[in-house]
Amino acid sequence: MLVIFTSVEFFIFFPVVVLSYFWLPQRFRWLLLLCSSYYFYMCWNPSYVVLIFFSTLVSYITAIQMGKAVSKQKRKGYLIAGLVANLSVLFFYKYFNFINDSVGAIFDRFDVFYGVSGFEVLLPIGISFYTFQTLSYIIDVYRGEKEPEKHLGVFALYVSFFPQLVAGPIERSTRLLPQFYKKFDFDYDRVSDGLKLVLWGLFKKVVIADRLAIYVNEVFNNPGDYQGIPVILACYFFAFQIYCDFSGYTDIAIGSSKVMGFDLMDNFKRPYFSKSISEFWRRWHISLSTWFRDYLYIPLGGNKVGRWRWHYNILVVFILSGLWHGANWTFVVWGALHGFYMLFAVWTKSIREKFIMLVGLNNYTIVHKYLKVLITFHLVTFAWIFFRANSIPDAFVIAGSLFKVDISGSLLVAGVSHFGLVLSLLLIGFLVFIHSIERHEDIRQFLSKKPAWFRYAIYYILLMGIALLGVFEAAFIYFQF
């Protein structure tokens, strides 16, 4: 019985947990949430808890020992031990077979025998997320930014907190851990605000993302069967699918947490309105991009080093970010492409500024702004091809198919009716409309100023939208990471 956010099981599980949470005295709440989180995780696969508990215990002990250690040498030793232990688990379950197969392919190429066989392992759901969360904790303790958490149960809750366990946001210990000690009473405004976010997240996921997925999956799973406009449409659709899927999940995670009083970080800030790739990464999967900034990019020297070292740092961070998403060369290429975009922006900055002056675009700030948004969106959408494609050759087939436009060809693909296609386009339009409103004001704040009848009409429409237009079969994309 999987307890995913769009399942009936979650809509039984969550109210039971929330009601129990508010009913219990504060001193027992951590235990309820911990048991609920482990139960939530075990519903995916009971054996997963062994790994998450191992990661929890190792990180807990590492931090405690670092706190006790007097010498910097010893602290560093514990840090390395903690990092190695956590990363080893991640490496084994997620990357061993990928690296092994890749090395084997190289040996095959040169007709050299390679006898190392892979392992049949199930990738534990959420491992990339909670591993990075524990790593950030260990590093924060090492840096002296966080005191070691003494309460093993509360720390275990920090690692396994069910709203953000399987797909983030990746929370910093300095932010989330202290909240587990605070007492949150039932507050009508806070709880209803959280539920509104859950509703909006559900709508984005089951109405928009999963609808778009039907078209996208048909094209990307059958590269070469489609060319031109259907491929272009599939690429645009995927850009919105992945946004709605992931941000929808995040909204449900943040909303569910808010119901109980916990404040999780924002993970998305209307990323497709970014005017540059660097801005995009300040607005997309913020918890991951800030993680890489704080724990990899800055320790590597960031931009405080020589020019070429700085460029190297950018490329390494983006390649590793790609690899974090999955053990497949498609993700590596996707990450590298974004790294290249960043570097290209740096290399061409002065040329672009001169060009803008030359054509007078600097006199048309709004046109210039929208042009930048459009270009950034298309660069990101093009890179998504590699993210979504099942393999590198497939990605190149799809990218190549973009330019074989046949005006007389059908827009439809197998499994998608005219109704489905028109609905997909209307939903994207609706999403863009909502985001346009949010340029000036958060939509929930906008709604809170409206009369009650208006607000309830909106909630009713969203619920009816989910009931009448929702697609309920697909998993969340980021669960596979």
Stretches 93-101, 118-126, 185-193, 231-239: which one binds another protein (CB under 8 A)?
185-193
Q: Could you give the CA distance from residue 74 to residue 56 in angstroms, rounded to a whole number?
A: 21
Stretches 105-113, 183-191, 242-250, 436-444: which one binds another protein (CB under 8 A)?
183-191
414 binds another protein (CB under 8 A): yes
Candidate list 39, 96, 107, 186; residue touching another protein; CB under 8 A: 186
298 binds another protein (CB under 8 A): no
8-state DSSP, 400? H
Stretches 47-55, 98-106, 133-141, 191-199: which one binds another protein (CB under 8 A)?
191-199
Q: Could you give the CA distance from residue 96 to residue 66 in angstroms, rounded to a whole number?
A: 29
Q: Could you give the CA distance from residue 260 to residue 255 in angstroms, rounded to a whole number?
A: 9
Torsion angle defined by CA atoms of residues 416, 421, 427 and 431, in that order, rounded to the nearest 10 degrees: 100
Candidate list 61, 412, 463, 474; residue touching another protein; CB under 8 A: 463
In the bound state with another protein, the residue whose beta carbon lies nearer, of 176 and 259, is 259
53 binds another protein (CB under 8 A): no
Residue 242 CB, nearest distance to another protein (Å)?
23
Q: How far is CA 109 from the centre of its chain?
A: 36
Q: Could you give the CA distance from residue 175 to residue 158 in angstroms, rounded to a whole number?
A: 10
Q: Pick from 264, 254, 257, 278: which is nearest to 204 by CA?
A: 254
In the bound state with another protein, the residue whose beta carbon lies nearer, of 355 and 460, is 460
Beta carbons of 138 and 63 less than 8 angstroms apart: yes
Considering only residues 16 through 45, tell me which ones interact with another protein, judged by CB under 8 A: 22
Look up 325 and say whether it is catalytic. yes
Pair of tokens at residue 9: 């099981």
Tokens 């990471």, residue located: 481
Q: Pick from 122, 159, 128: which is nearest to 481 by CA?
A: 128
469 binds another protein (CB under 8 A): yes
Residue 186 CB, nearest distance to another protein (Å)?
5
In the bound state with another protein, the residue whose beta carbon lies nearer, of 346 and 471, is 471
467 binds another protein (CB under 8 A): yes
Residue 137 CB, nearest distance to another protein (Å)?
34
Which residue among the candidates 325, 338, 368, 378 is catalytic per the annotation? 325
In the bound state with another protein, the residue whose beta carbon lies nearer, of 262 and 341, is 262
457 binds another protein (CB under 8 A): no
188 binds another protein (CB under 8 A): yes
Residue 43 CB, nearest distance to another protein (Å)?
15
Q: How many residues bind another protein (CB under 8 A)?
A: 21
In the bound state with another protein, the residue whose beta carbon lies nearer, of 22 and 340, is 22
* Amino acid found at 183: K
Q: How far is CA 128 from the centre of its chain?
A: 11
Residue 419 CB, nearest distance to another protein (Å)?
5
Beta carbons of 234 and 223 less than 8 angstroms apart: no
Pair of tokens at residue 399: 């990218």
Checking 149-152 for CB contacts under 8 A at 24+ apart, the result is 149/60, 149/63, 149/173, 149/177, 150/64, 151/30, 152/56, 152/57, 152/60
Binding site for another protein (CB under 8 A): 8, 22, 186, 188, 191-192, 195, 414-415, 417-419, 456, 459-460, 463-464, 467-470
Annotated active-site positions, please? 325
